[in-house]
């Protein structure tokens, strides 16, 4: 039995390319899908930033050092720094919601 795994890279999509066109969608549909995806990503980033700003405001309001906030949140001090510096790519929505919950700031969602 052979344990050879094919790891050859056959195609690399350029960063500025439309991934949907690369996948074979017709141009009109690929353009629309890309626009929709970009819109969803922007909405997600907006929500993450808002939650991070709430956490940062709570820390400032309570005059806490990042190390003290980290203890309250049960995370490392660098994680608190990432929140304060709005490093959205390092967090999921559920992580940010749980952090706010630990601070006594439950999150509610309104659709509309």
Range of the domain at 86: 38-112
What is the pLDDT confidence band of residue 1, given thresholds at 50, 70 and 90?
A: low
Count structural domains, the chain: 1
* Pairwise CA distance, residues 34 & 42, whole Å: 12
pLDDT digits (tens, 9 = 90+) for 4-46: 888 888 888 888 999 999 999 999 999 999 999 999 999 999 9
Residues 39-96: pLDDT tens digits? 999 999 999 999 999 999 999 999 999 999 999 999 999 999 999 999 999 999 999 9
pTM: 0.80
Establish if 74 belongs to a structural domain: yes
Residue 2 lies in a domain: no
Structure tokens at 4: 């050879």
CATH of the domain at 78: 1.10.260.40
Measured distance CA(97)–CA(112) in Å, rounded = 20
């Amino acid at each position: 039995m052979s344990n050879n795994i094919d790891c050859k890279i056959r195609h690399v999509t350029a960063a500025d390319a439309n991934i949907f066109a690369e996948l074979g969608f017709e141009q009109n549909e690929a353009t629309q899908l890309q626009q929709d995806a970009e819109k969803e990503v922007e909405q997600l980033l907006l929500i993450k930033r808002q939650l991070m700003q709430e956490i940062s405001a709570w820390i400032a309001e309570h005059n806490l050092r990042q190390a003290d906030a980290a203890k309250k949140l049960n995370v490392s001090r660098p994680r608190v720094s990432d929140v304060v510096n709005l490093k959205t790519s390092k967090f999921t929505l559920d992580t940010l919601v749980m952090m706010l919950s630990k601070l006594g700031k439950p999150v509610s969602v309104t659709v509309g």
